[in-house]
């Protein structure tokens, strides 16, 4: 099966059921499928052919869903991107994936106007959410005048459906190529693990749809099962609105990152709990390790257990789950979903016994590789096993316990951040001689970004100056939270010389 067939199957079976709730809008599965057809036909008229990349810069919205499935129905490969990326970051990514079409919200497009000429491969821009002024194609006009006829593009399970970039652009972008078969297999397994049905109401809050955790585990799993997805606007600052939405819509499932649960605890301690949450049968956490303190405090205040799961973009989404038959072990990250295999190996690739930590490797519906990056693809996938770079152990019963990472990466609010990205920017500052970026543990965010900076001789700078320099050059979540000026930067730090060599 492919994702086009998955949506059409659900639209036929549950045509009148509500697929998406967003504010006062309630969109049925039949209407969602029709919107996807309209966008697919528009893309084909633009000249999009099977295998062409279509990039999106869209917030979590019904439009995102229709555009995503429209791309797939047209035979294209969806490249969902973080709306917080700055122009230079997008230029780097587009040089890797060469999208033919860019679908972008008006508010995101405006700051990019001065550099649109640098998006060499982009032939068409579709603007979402703004009135047409004739400069670009308009999504609203496509929905008003476009053809809703079924699209006849033939798709195979092994065709790439999505390129998902893991943590943003680096000197070697890591765009995980995920096939239709990979994603469909994963969402079917996910739905079985969550015991999900068409009666479930899945709350979508503070997770971006462009991230595979939100896209696969929440949205696509819900669509496969015919569940209703309730999009709640806002971020962690809107916890009370989120809880009120659960009561109003009688939500049954919520998957989020530890940061949101930490904020929910703060709200409970400060304001109490003023919403009826009794309809929720599953609270899940992923994207980053769940600190035991958050799990315990959430249970104390809300009376519910948070079930921790683990996964990664290269494996579509989550690899582990917590059984719902009473045998869950919340202190762990769960056990392998049926269809996944997990092994713990030493540096030589030899399997380790239970309770002994090593690198976590997995086998199942893993990515085909990194797009246009065969060298790193070969390092990540060996003999059909994906080497994750995460460190952990399996207990006697197969439950996974995380203990660290081999790869140099920071996880901030569930978002992967590569220190090399930040070092690459800082090393271009004319006052900086050497810089080292690291992740520092933080109770609320998981980790924060710290930059140790050695200035050039006789140079002086302030933290404000350094942050201002970064702001126009990287997504805001990558900005260093802590800046330390020092005469002794750790070994392996980036310098002008090494950056130039890279």
96 phi and psi angles, rounded to 5 deg:
-90, -45
| pLDDT tens-place string over residues 246-297 | 999 999 999 999 999 999 999 999 999 999 999 999 999 998 888 889 999 9
- pLDDT above 90: percentage of residues in the chain: 79
Fold: same for 336-405 and 410-501: no
Q: How many CA atoms lie within 13 A of 287 on its CB side?
A: 31
Every domain of the chain and the residues it spans: 24-178, 336-405, 410-501
Mean pLDDT, rounded, of the chain: 92
Q: List Cβ neighbours of 395 (8 Å cut-off, separation of 6 or more).
A: 332, 354, 355, 401
- The third-level CATH classification (topology) of the domain covering 336-405 is Luciferase; domain 3 (2.30.38)
pLDDT score for 403: 87
Report pTM: 0.88
Calculate mean pLDDT across residues 43-72. 98
500 phi and psi angles, rounded to 5 deg:
-65, -40
- Report whether 207 contacts 255 (CB < 8 A): yes
| pLDDT tens-place string over residues 353-389 | 999 999 999 999 999 999 999 999 999 999 999 999 9
- The third-level CATH classification (topology) of the domain covering 410-501 is GMP Synthetase; Chain A, domain 3 (3.30.300)
Calculate mean pLDDT across residues 299-304. 96
CA 33, CA 470: separation in Å to the nearest integer? Answer: 42
Instruction: Report DSSP state, residue 49.
Output: -
- The third-level CATH classification (topology) of the domain covering 24-178 is Rossmann fold (3.40.50)
Question: Taking Cα atoms as reference points, which of 74, 220, 79, 52 lies closest to residue 147?
Answer: 74
DSSP for 298-323, please give it: HHHHH---EEE--B-GGGSSB-EE--
Q: Which two tokens stand for residue 445?
A: 């965010």
Calculate mean pLDDT across residues 85-94. 92
Rg (CA), the chain: 23
CA angle 468, 471, 473 (to 5 degrees): 120
Query: C-alpha distances in angstroms, 59 versus 105, 208, 450, 487?
Result: 8, 7, 28, 42
Calculate mean pLDDT across residues 229-250. 89
């Amino acid at each position: 099966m492919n994702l086009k067939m998955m949506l059409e199957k659900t639209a036929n079976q549950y045509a009148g059921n509500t697929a998406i709730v967003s504010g006062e809008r309630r969109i049925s599965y039949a209407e969602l499928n029709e919107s996807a057809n309209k966008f697919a036909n528009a893309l084909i008229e633009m000249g999009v052919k099977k295998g062409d990349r279509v990039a999106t810069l869209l917030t979590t919205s019904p439009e995102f869903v229709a555009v995503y499935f429209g791309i797939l129905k047209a035979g294209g490969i969806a490249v969902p991107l973080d709306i917080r990326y700055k122009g230079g970051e997008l230029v780097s990514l587009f040089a890797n994936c060469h999208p033919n079409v860019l679908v972008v919200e008006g508010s995101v497009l405006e700051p990019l106007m001065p550099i649109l000429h640098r998006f060499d491969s982009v032939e068409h821009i579709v603007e979402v959410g703004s009135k047409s002024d004739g400069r670009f194609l308009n999504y609203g006009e496509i929905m008003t005048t476009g053809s809703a006829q079924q699209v006849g593009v033939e798709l195979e399970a092994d065709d790439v459906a999505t390129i998902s970039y893991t943590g943003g652009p680096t000197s070697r972008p890591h765009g995980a190529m995920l096939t239709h078969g990979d994603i469909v297999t994963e969402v079917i397994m996910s739905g079985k693990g969550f015991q999900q049905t068409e009666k479930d109401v899945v709350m979508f809050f503070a997770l971006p749809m462009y991230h595979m955790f939100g896209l696969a585990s929440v949205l696509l799993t819900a669509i496969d099962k015919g569940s209703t997805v309730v999009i709640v606007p806002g971020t962690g600052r809107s916890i009370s609105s989120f809880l009120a939405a659960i009561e109003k819509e009688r939500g049954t499932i919520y998957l989020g990152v530890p940061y949101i649960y930490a904020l929910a605890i703060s709200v409970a301690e400060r304001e109490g709990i003023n919403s009826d949450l009794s309809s929720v049968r599953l609270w899940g956490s992923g994207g980053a390790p769940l600190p035991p303190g958050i799990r315990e405090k959430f249970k104390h205040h809300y009376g519910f257990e948070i079930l921790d799961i683990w996964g990664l973009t290269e494996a579509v989404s989550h690899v582990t789950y917590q059984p719902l038959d009473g045998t869950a072990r919340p202190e762990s990250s769960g056990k392998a979903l049926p269809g996944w295999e997990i092994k713990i190996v030493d540096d030589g690739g030899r399997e380790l016994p239970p309770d002994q930590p090593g690198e976590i490797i997995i086998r199942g519906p893993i990515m085909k590789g990194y797009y246009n990056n065969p060298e790193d693809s070969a390092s990540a996938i060996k003999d059909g096993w994906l080497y994750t770079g995460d460190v952990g152990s399996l207990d006697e019963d197969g439950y996974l316990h995380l203990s660290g990472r081999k790869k140099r990466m920071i996880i901030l609010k569930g978002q992967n951040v590569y220190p090399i990205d930040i070092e690459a920017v800082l090393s271009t500052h004319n006052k900086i001689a050497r810089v080292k970026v690291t992740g520092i543990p933080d109770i609320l965010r998981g980790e924060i970004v710290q930059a140790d900076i050695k200035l050039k001789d006789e140079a002086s700078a302030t933290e404000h100056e350094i942050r201002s320099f970064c702001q126009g050059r990287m997504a805001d979540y990558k900005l260093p939270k802590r800046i330390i000026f020092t005469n002794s930067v750790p070994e392996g730090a980036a310098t002008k010389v090494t950056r130039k060599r890279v």
